[in-house]
Amino acid sequence: MAIESHYHSLLSREQNEHVLRFCPSLTEKERQALIQQIQHIDFTLLEQQRRLIRNPPPTLSSIEPFTDFTFIGQGGDFSKGKGLLREGKMGCLILAGGQGTRLRLDGPKGRFPVSLIKHKSLFQLLAEKTLAAGKQAGTTLSLAIMTSPENDEITKRFFAEHHYWGLNPEQVSFFCQGTLPLLDSQGQLFLESRYHIAEGPNGNGQCLHDFYKSGIWKKWSEQGIQYLNVVLIDNPLADPFDAELLGFHARQQADITIKCTEKVKPQEKVGVIVKENGRVGVIEYSELPDSDKAATRPDGRLNYCCANLSLFCFSMNFIQSTVAKTASLPLHKAWKAAKFVNEAGMTQLSATPIAWKFETFIFDWLGYADHVFALLYPREQCFAPLKNYTGEDSLETVQQAIQKRERQLLQDVTGVEPPSLPFELAAEFYYPTPELKAKWHKKVPKTSYVEP
């Protein structure tokens, strides 16, 4: 066909014409799906991906430990933040483009059940926290959810099937992140199925562009929202409406505030906040030399002690003024296992890494900000990542962290020692109203699921 000849010529310039090899046996619908995908490939960006494979990563420029952080609990930030929440000044963006593959879940990671008694999903926990925070503030709070092409429809359907867990659908917005092609060891495109080129999500670095382009930024700005809290779906201790963070951010008149915790083990696989050429940045775990990972100060604390949790507060005005400047964030590569089509035309998953995956990261926005601050939290208040099916950062460790956090929350509300048996708190205990505190003062719950 002439149209296939056109794309054969286009792809052959990059030695990628092999992705058309199954065209003669494709249905018209399959052929059009493949052609549409090829039409959306940015070949200029593809060449950047190939250069990143060919060239070694740049040597780290002058970096030094970041030490200019502030501990929470200072300056009346919590009270100030609660006042701003009452005025509806903050919205929350949940980054939820990931799949639950490593958790042995077929579908969006946000559908994974994590709570101890009710087995609530990650999505439900954050939706109910949004509802509870709104009750405490006496206003309707706005929520945006970034999906991926792979899970967009399923995520929206999941919310609708559960009636948004009490939220008004009007206060929840969705938008979809983009994708980038995967490349093989030779820097070439390859097929995931007979009519689909292998690709993956383009990372969380583009989330603010996509948030802005989707029209949500404009809608929220017109509603008076001035601050955006960004959290990851796989951290059930994330606080979507953190009054302390909001108050601090507003008091400092910050462009970006990083919500962080102390890294206590050199081997912990998290990025760290650094000063790079005098500006605040983040270095990934894999990019920091081993000697720097283990280096300590005289008091025994790690030199590079501020762990990046991918929790950020952005000023909406900063997003608007910076979105054009960050259109070409640096790409980061990773060598991964991937699905591929064999010579028989069957899709299979590689047992070992076979492909380069490319992403942009949200922390690269830091380099464009003049006013960056870091607020240091106790780990048990804010960070319990769910990454693995077993072992470290698994459901077992996450549930232990949630239980520890909720024991403290219950004690804060009741003023008495919590029961020793396992229990689960309703979201209202994370955002207690005066009425809830009065009702539960000096009381011990008698059920495993504790409601207001």
68-110, pLDDT tens digit by residue?
Answer: 999 999 889 999 999 999 999 999 999 999 999 899 999 999 9
Structure tokens at 245: 């963070």
pLDDT of residue 327: 80
Predicted confidence (pLDDT) at residue 224 exceeds the cutoff of 90: yes
CA distance 348 to 338: 8
Residue 357 φ then ψ, to 5°: -105, 140
CA distance 162 to 169: 11
* 340-355: average pLDDT: 93
* 371-376: average pLDDT: 98
pLDDT of residue 12: 80
* 43-62: average pLDDT: 85
Beta bridge partners of 70: 375
User: Could you tell me the pLDDT band of residue 60, with boundaries at 50, 70 and 90?
Assistant: low
Predicted confidence (pLDDT) at residue 278 exceeds the cutoff of 90: no
Predicted confidence (pLDDT) at residue 2 exceeds the cutoff of 60: no
CATH 3.90.550.10 domain span(s) along the chain: 41-387
DSSP H helices, 14-101, are 28-39, 43-54, 77-86
Predicted confidence (pLDDT) at residue 351 exceeds the cutoff of 70: yes
Looking at per-residue pLDDT, the higher value among 384 and 17 belongs to: 384
* 345-358: average pLDDT: 94
Nearest to 130 by CA among 224, 241, 216, 223: 241
Q: What is the overall mean pLDDT for the chain?
A: 94
Predicted confidence (pLDDT) at residue 259 exceeds the cutoff of 70: yes
**Helix, strand, coil % in the chain, rounded to nearest 5:** 40, 20, 40
* Whole-angstrom Cα Rg for the chain: 23
pLDDT of residue 221: 98
Find out whether 194 and 26 touch, Cβ atoms under 8 Å: yes
Predicted confidence (pLDDT) at residue 406 exceeds the cutoff of 90: yes
pLDDT of residue 373: 98
For the chain, what percent of residues have pLDDT higher than 70?
Answer: 98
* 150-168: average pLDDT: 98
pTM of the model: 0.93
Which amino acid is present at 374?
A
Find out whether 242 and 81 touch, Cβ atoms under 8 Å: yes
Looking at per-residue pLDDT, the higher value among 260 and 326 belongs to: 260
* 3-29: average pLDDT: 83
**C-beta neighbour count of 391 within 10 angstroms:** 9
For the chain, what percent of residues have pLDDT higher than 90?
Answer: 87
Strand (E) or helix (H) holding 142: strand 142-147
For 284-313, what is each residue's pLDDT tens digit?
998 898 999 999 999 989 999 999 999 999
CA distance 327 to 319: 12
CA distance 450 to 403: 12
For 105-158, what is each residue's pLDDT tens digit?
999 999 999 999 999 999 999 999 999 999 999 999 999 999 999 999 999 999
* 239-266: average pLDDT: 97
User: Distances in Å between the alpha carbon of 140 and those of 78, 89, 128, 134, 422?
Assistant: 19, 11, 13, 5, 32
Of 3-17, 33-47, 185-199, the least confident: 3-17
User: Distances in Å between the alpha carbon of 408 and those of 131, 182, 430?
Assistant: 21, 45, 10
Question: Quick one: 41-387 is in which CATH superfamily?
Answer: Spore Coat Polysaccharide Biosynthesis Protein SpsA; Chain A (3.90.550.10)
For 411-452, what is each residue's pLDDT tens digit?
999 999 999 999 999 999 999 999 999 999 999 999 999 999
Residue given tokens 């942009």 in the structure block: 360
Strand (E) or helix (H) holding 283: strand 279-283
CA distance 273 to 285: 11
Find out whether 246 and 90 touch, Cβ atoms under 8 Å: yes
Residue given tokens 């399959």 in the structure block: 30
Q: Is the dihedral of CA 104, 109, 111, 116 positive or negative?
A: positive
pLDDT of residue 258: 99
pLDDT of residue 4: 63
Nearest to 311 by CA among 246, 370, 259, 251: 259
